Amino acid sequence: MARNRKLGRTSSQRKALLRNQVTNLLYHGSIVTTEAKAKEIRGIAEGFIAIAVKEHDKFETVTVKTKVARKDKDGNRVKEVVEGKKISVFDEVEKTLKKDSASRLHARRKMNAYLYTITEVPKESAGKKRNTKTVNLADKLFDEIAPKYTNRNGGYTRTIKIGQRKGDAAMEVLIELV
């Protein structure tokens, strides 16, 4: 007997489909898909959320002194002439960083290994590589999603039946984070 649904695909296609759907569910908060796919997605997504809830407060804040290049109003580095050579000017700045515990780091690496990276493109610069930023879903899980579910014991997703799809009469559902 099969351990999970095959969804009419080869194993590599199925794994890619599930990774994509779980990534989009965690990024957008809800997606519309078929009932069979939603049942597979639910277990994976709830597993990641459960790990994030367990590990979300296991870090320490560390203050570090670093050197940062001084920049002018245009964003270019300020250079000084020393002994006939142009050298960048650096300022010493204190930064606070989150230092993960070993178990949280392991959880973060598991999430990053499974979830796809998402690139956000602002609407005003659509089609251009400029001003795009990548979203780290592991950070989103730890910082935004996990704090909402700290007092909840499982059941992080909900499926709502929408109806049958017109083309093949497959049951469509809306799966969303509670």
- Whether residue 3 is predicted with pLDDT greater than 80 in this model: the reply is no
Please indicate, yes or no, whether residues 149 and 105 belong to a single structural domain of this protein.
yes
Domain boundary among 48, 78, 99: 99
Q: Specify whether 113 is located in the same domain as 161.
A: yes
Residue 1 has pLDDT above 70, yes or no: no
Whether 5 maps to a domain, the answer reads no
At which of 99, 117, 149 does a domain end?
Answer: 99
Does residue 24 fall inside a structural domain? Answer: yes
Q: Are residues 68 and 156 in the same domain?
A: no
State the pLDDT at residue 12. Answer: 96
Per-residue confidence (pLDDT) for residue 176, from 0 to 100: 97
The total number of structural domains that make up the chain: 2
Checking if the pLDDT of 81 tops 90, the result is: no
**Same-domain check for residues 48 and 88:** no
Q: How many CA atoms lie within 13 A of 70 on its CB side?
A: 9
Global model pTM greater than 0.85: no
Q: Cα(121)–Cα(87) distance, rounded to whole angstroms?
A: 35
Domain interval for residue 171 = 11-58+101-177
Q: Under a CB-based contact definition with an 8 Å cutoff, are residues 20 and 116 in contact? A: yes
- Considering the domain architecture, whether residues 120 and 54 belong to the same structural domain is answered as yes
Which DSSP symbol is given to 122?
-
Q: What is the pLDDT of residues 149-168, one digit of tens each?
A: 999 999 999 999 999 999 99
The mean pLDDT of 103-109, rounded to a whole number, is: 96
Q: Are 114 and 134 members of one domain? A: yes
Domain termination site, one of 39, 67, 99: 99
